[in-house]
Structure 1
Amino acid sequence: MASVVSSSAVGEKINEWYMYIRRFSIPDAEYLRREIKEELASLEDDQDLHLYYSLMEFRHNLMLEYLEPLESQRIEEQPRLSDLLADIDKKQARLTGRLDYYFNFFRGMYELECREYLSAIQFFKKAESKLTYVTDQIEKAEFYFKMSESYYYMKQTYFSMDYARQAYKIYHKQEAYNIRVLQCHSLFATNFLDLKQYDEAIQHFKKAYAMAEAEQQPQLMGRTLYNIGLCFNSQENYKPAIDYIKRAIAVFEDGNIITSLPQAYFLITQIHYKIGNMAIARQYHDKGVSYAKEAEDSLYIAEYEFLESLYVGEPDEEAIMECFDFLKDKLMYADLEDFALDVAKYYHERENFEKASAYFLKVEETRQQIQGGVKLYEIEV
């Protein structure tokens, strides 16, 4: 006679599954996912348990996409994130307590991956109001970490640093969370980079790279190499910047990590345009656009169009402004500031001081938006 599976036992297994997800332990998480799915078939009447499973399956797939998209190609029957989200949205009205927290937190993670930063902050703020239902310290660290990431992308440096420190204080005491510890080092580094504290940034990036290499995580290794290149680029030290970006590209291409290649190709293309290596820039440009289209990355498709509009032939100011409007709609003020500065310098070098001044004013206007950006987040949730 087949043994009877209880709802409480399956619920405990889902809790264990989530532990492996947070540790990025893909084999263990995938094994439990399949086991739980089979056991749920005999518990069709327990709709809350099925909803808990749906939320955790969504989080499982976010892990795969965040860490190494190639993994999802090795695992059979992985549903699309958008399909899982649509299914959960239909059931949202029934969510209460801890499940309501999970929904808002996981949805915020999804919006963050889609680069919808304001939307991500809104969902995270809703999740924060439900943190009273969370007693697990690691779960609180997960929340702090994602808030830090969100504020970093919105260039709210001190908010980002504060949340990153809170996450790190919890993670670094736990041996099983080395990946999150190295990601905290990367967050510290990127924020130090924004503060132009380059030595501190590179120190944290190199620590993160050593840990990523030890964990054998190509996605994280490549991202860290890219960020070290970005650090040298910010100092206009272009030779080491190019070297590190080439290393990042090699890691991403060897691992077939397509989603990370548009960004890496963009930066090396931009550098070669700036230093006048037009033929080399064009080669990187074409390949980067190809990867952006393959990844369906609308942001980088638009940003490659910006490079085309500025550096190929005479500047196309209408196309440049279209890119600026796109970035403004996405609240990508940091990129908008960088691009406006590129245009201003382009005209200044050609002694077109009237147009250069106009774009320098655009830079200043954008910086004011960034500095006052915290007001955007004080939204009713």
Structure 2
Amino acid sequence: MSTESVIPYDLVATKMNYWYNCIKNNRSAAAEKAKAEVEQEIKVMEENQDALVYFSLLEFRHQLMLEELYPGSEIKIDKHYKKLKEAKGSQDLYGMLEYYYQFFMGMYHFRQKELVLSLNYYRKAELEIEAIEGDNTEKAEFYFKMAEVYYHMKQTYFSMNYAKRAYAIYKEEPTYGNRRVHCQFVIAGNCLDNMHIEEALKHAKQALEDAEKFGENYLIRKALFNIGVCYTNLEEFDKSSEFYLKSLDILEPKNDEFTARALYLLAYTKARQNDLRSSKKFYEKSLKLAQQNNIAETLATLKIVKGIYLDSDLDLVREAFEFFEEKKLYPDMEWYGVCIGDTLTEQGEIRGANEFYRKAIEARKQIRRGDFLNEI
């Protein structure tokens, strides 16, 4: 290779920074174009190991974006995960590269629903975040991901704190409107967990209004779904069904995981209304999708609908709770434990009701102790 044809690594790094900004904004078409350009330029780039590591990290982050936007597609994220682990090997990374490695690994394990492992990586990334000098949007991205994982662990105050910090930064960045919507989703979810349901509904409706301005189907669909969840918590089941069905009307981008969950909640909602015929119809549709795509969490929750409402088989429900416990999904154990206890009480099954109330109490103890947050 002649020296005249060699591209300075810092010019390629600048293009990689643009690529990363496209990824963070979920601009998949622009990200694909930038990725293709970087792939060509890196072949004739002057040798620089840090730039090559940065490329490997962004390649992995690119796949995480695609999996988030198009779950259930032919994207083989595990292959890219192994490739990145091999690329790092025993190499020591410092500063920004160490931050990105820990951060992206946390995102990967979050997608795998390995929340404890995800948080462990995020905590390590937080130790390096000061290496991201002068880039507030990157800090906002990190704060949002922390808010997200703490929300799923039902560590409400931690989650709300990080979500508000992220939102305050995104509010000053007009090109990050989609991230403002995501922050609204997390804030609404935390309000639900604190039983501030009307406040949650307000944030969910604001998220829908903002999502419609941006015209992003996947955001509109999720916002409609979240409004449905709020109405489910208010036990306004006709309204919740209306919003779940509206969310299912948005077919693109394809997301079988989302569809299976929305169909499950329709099955649950209809069962709560004692419309068992409709419940069974939605149950069967959800089950088919969940089995085809091996969606473990939805398969577990479907056992609750079948075991409580369709077949009266508490052993199925116990299997679902074994899954929750194995995956340390204590928030799900608590919520479903109370709902099932209430339903069994209404059915006169006092012994069964007490069993699941106890499971809910034990889950609440685990959440309050936060033991599962400290498993390093």
Q: Same fold (TM over 0.5)?
A: yes
Task: Rate the CA distance shift 1:95–1:181 in 2: closer, same or farther, 3 A.
Answer: farther
Shift in Å, 1:44:
8.2
- Which aligned pairs between 1:273-284 and structure 2 lie closer than 5 A? 273-284=271-282
Instruction: Name the stretch that deviates more: 128-137 or 39-48.
Output: 39-48
Shift in Å, 1:3:
3.8
Task: Rate the CA distance shift 1:65–1:182 in 2: closer, same or farther, 3 A.
Answer: same
Aligned partner of 1:305 among 303, 317, 324: 303
Shift in Å, 1:306:
2.7
Distance 1:79 1:288 in 2: 22
Shift in Å, 1:258:
1.7
Are positions 1:194 and 2:222 aligned together?
no
CA contact (8 A) 2:334 2:360 kept: yes
Instruction: Name the stretch that deviates more: 280-289 or 194-203.
Output: 194-203
Q: Unaligned 5+ residue runs, structure 2?
A: none
Counterpart in the other structure of 1:321: 318
Shift in Å, 1:297:
1.1
Counterpart in the other structure of 1:258: 256
The amino acid of 2:50's aligned partner reads D
Deviations 1:131-153 (A, max 9, x none): 13221211111110000000000
Shift in Å, 1:254:
4.8
Distance 2:92 2:218 in 1: 34
Distance 2:75 2:195 in 1: 42
The amino acid of 2:84's aligned partner reads I
Q: Kindly report the root-mean-square deviation, in angstroms, between the aligned alpha carbons of the 2 structures.
A: 2.0
SS in 1 for 2:52: helix
Shift in Å, 1:350:
2.2
The amino acid of 1:196's aligned partner reads M
Deviations 1:293-350 (A, max 9, x none): 2332111112212322222223232x32221111112121121122222332232122
Distance 1:188 1:300 in 2: 23
CA contact (8 A) 1:179 1:212 kept: yes
Deviations 1:207-237 (A, max 9, x none): 1111211212111111111111111111111
Distance 2:330 2:339 in 1: 14
Counterpart in the other structure of 2:41: 39
Deviations 1:152-181 (A, max 9, x none): 000111110000011111111011111111
- Which aligned pairs between 1:120-131 and structure 2 lie closer than 5 A? 120-131=118-129
Distance 2:170 2:246 in 1: 29
Distance 1:79 1:3 in 2: 34
Distance 2:106 2:24 in 1: 16
SS in 2 for 1:115: coil
SS in 2 for 1:331: coil
Shift in Å, 1:5:
1.3
Counterpart in the other structure of 1:81: 77
CA contact (8 A) 2:166 2:183 kept: yes
Calculate percent identity across the aligned residue pairs: 29
Distance 2:349 2:171 in 1: 53
SS in 2 for 1:91: helix
CA contact (8 A) 2:330 2:367 kept: yes
Shift in Å, 1:26:
2.3
SS in 1 for 2:113: coil
Deviations 1:99-137 (A, max 9, x none): 111111011111112211111111111111111322121
Counterpart in the other structure of 1:354: 351
Counterpart in the other structure of 1:53: 55
Aligned partner of 1:96 among 87, 90, 93: 93
Distance 1:23 1:112 in 2: 19
Counterpart in the other structure of 1:25: 27
The amino acid of 1:309's aligned partner reads G
The amino acid of 2:265's aligned partner reads L
CA contact (8 A) 1:168 1:184 kept: yes
Shift in Å, 1:275:
1.8
Shift in Å, 1:79:
5.8
Task: Rate the CA distance shift 1:174–1:366 in 2: closer, same or farther, 3 A.
Answer: same
Counterpart in the other structure of 1:242: 241
Deviations 1:11-65 (A, max 9, x none): 1111121122122222222111000101112248544322211110111121222
Distance 1:329 1:114 in 2: 14
Deviations 1:352-373 (A, max 9, x none): 3233222222222222222222
Aligned partner of 2:115 among 117, 120, 124: 117
Counterpart in the other structure of 1:207: 206
Distance 1:377 1:130 in 2: 20
CA contact (8 A) 1:229 1:243 kept: yes
CA contact (8 A) 1:54 1:84 kept: no
CA contact (8 A) 1:306 1:323 kept: yes
Aligned partner of 1:336 among 333, 348, 371: 333
Distance 1:207 1:343 in 2: 31
CA contact (8 A) 1:58 1:84 kept: yes
Distance 1:10 1:58 in 2: 17
Under a length normalisation based on structure 2, what TM-score does the superposition of the two structures give? Answer: 0.93
Distance 1:128 1:26 in 2: 27
Under a length normalisation based on structure 1, what TM-score does the superposition of the two structures give? Answer: 0.92
Counterpart in the other structure of 1:161: 160
User: Which stretches of structure 1, 4 residues or longer, exceed 6 Å deviation after superposition?
Assistant: none
CA contact (8 A) 2:67 2:75 kept: no
The amino acid of 1:285's aligned partner reads Y
